[in-house]
Amino acid sequence: MNTMFRHLIRGASTLSLIAVFTAGLAQAADAPGMRIGVRGEITGVSPEVLNVHASSGENVVINLTNDTRIRAVTLANIEDIKPGSYIGTAAVPQEDGTLKALEVHVFPPELAGSGDGHRPFDLVKGSTMTNGSVGDLVVSNGRVLTVNYKGGQQKILVPADVPIVNLTPGDRSLLKVGVKIVTFVTQSADGTLTAQSISAGKDGVTPPM
């Protein structure tokens, strides 16, 4: 583990430490090396490198490749979600077995199927990520979504104060100093961090996921 990564982990809270390692274990089968979520603000960008001031307080250097997926994050609301919409939502379990959303992001039709399923996530301790198609949507009675994915279904309560955003295909023109991002990176054997995907806030939006 390189010095930068040790500092990144050291600067995180106990909660963040649990989240980082939960995410890494959950995603181990999806990518070579540990997959880590980094949230923060871009402080520098070049064709091959992104400099990010992480929310943990550390400055992180992340490599970009031709395979790095970039998406724009824009504001949305509950009315943008319809039966059949494809969404992702970070959530935490409630006592009755349902989930309470921490955020909801709405995919465009061309990204339907992205990350389909239900898995641990690193937003807060015990949080999950559910990506799937909306079955039932009850706005007038507690804002409850039924989300269907291959092999399962989850009922998710979306409180009125929970951020809802659109997640759309983007390009590197979104990557500018001052832009808030969420990026998932992998760490190679020599400690180099490489971005697999980047969700970049557009028009001042801070990605909530």
Q: Based on the domain organization, do 31 and 101 belong to the same domain?
A: no
Quote the pLDDT of residue 35. 77
Quote the pLDDT of residue 140. 63
- Kindly calculate the radius of gyration of the chain based on its CA atoms and give it in whole angstroms: 17
pTM, two decimals, is 0.78
Quote the pLDDT of residue 141. 60
Q: What is the DSSP string of 63-85?
A: E--TT-EEEEEEE--GGG--TT-
Domain hosting residue 193, numbered range: 3-71+168-201
Considering the domain boundaries, does residue 178 fall inside one?
Answer: yes
CB of 72 closer than 8 Å to CB of 170 = yes
Q: Based on the domain organization, do 87 and 43 belong to the same domain?
A: no
| Cα separation, 156 vs 135, whole angstroms | 11
Q: What is the mean pLDDT of each run of 10 residues along the chain (209 residues)?
A: 39 32 35 76 97 95 97 94 95 93 95 95 94 84 88 94 95 97 94 96 96
Q: Based on the domain organization, do 87 and 149 belong to the same domain?
A: yes
| Cα separation, 117 vs 137, whole angstroms | 19
